[in-house]
Amino acid sequence: MMASLKLKLGQEVDINKVDSTIAVAGKEGKLGKLVFSKGSVEWWPANNSVNCLTFSWEQLAKVLEKNGTPKKVPKTKSAGKSAAPAKAKTDSKA
């Protein structure tokens, strides 16, 4: 049995067999909806109930990395966690 996938949206969300949906809106109104499950993510543009764009999680990560605008995020002291992912520690034996 495959372990559930975790998605963090302000709080952690378990992605199981049931699809979850996020409505996406901009300044001009509804842009579309993002439907996600363990295996894939679908983008449904506003006013379109027939055609969607489907991405694997790996494909979505590549699209976001390629098309996003880099932004430095300062570390926060909330619950001892930083906003940026921590680097893995390595032990060096001399």
pLDDT tens digit sequence for 26-71: 888 889 999 988 889 999 999 988 999 999 999 999 999 999 999 9
Mean pLDDT of the chain: 77
Residues of the chain with pLDDT > 70: what percent?
67
The answer to whether 38 touches 17, Cβ cutoff 8 Å, is yes
* 94 vs 33 pLDDT, higher one: 33
What is the value of pTM for the model shown?
Answer: 0.60
Whether residue 5 is predicted with pLDDT greater than 80 in this model: the reply is no
The answer to whether 23 touches 33, Cβ cutoff 8 Å, is yes
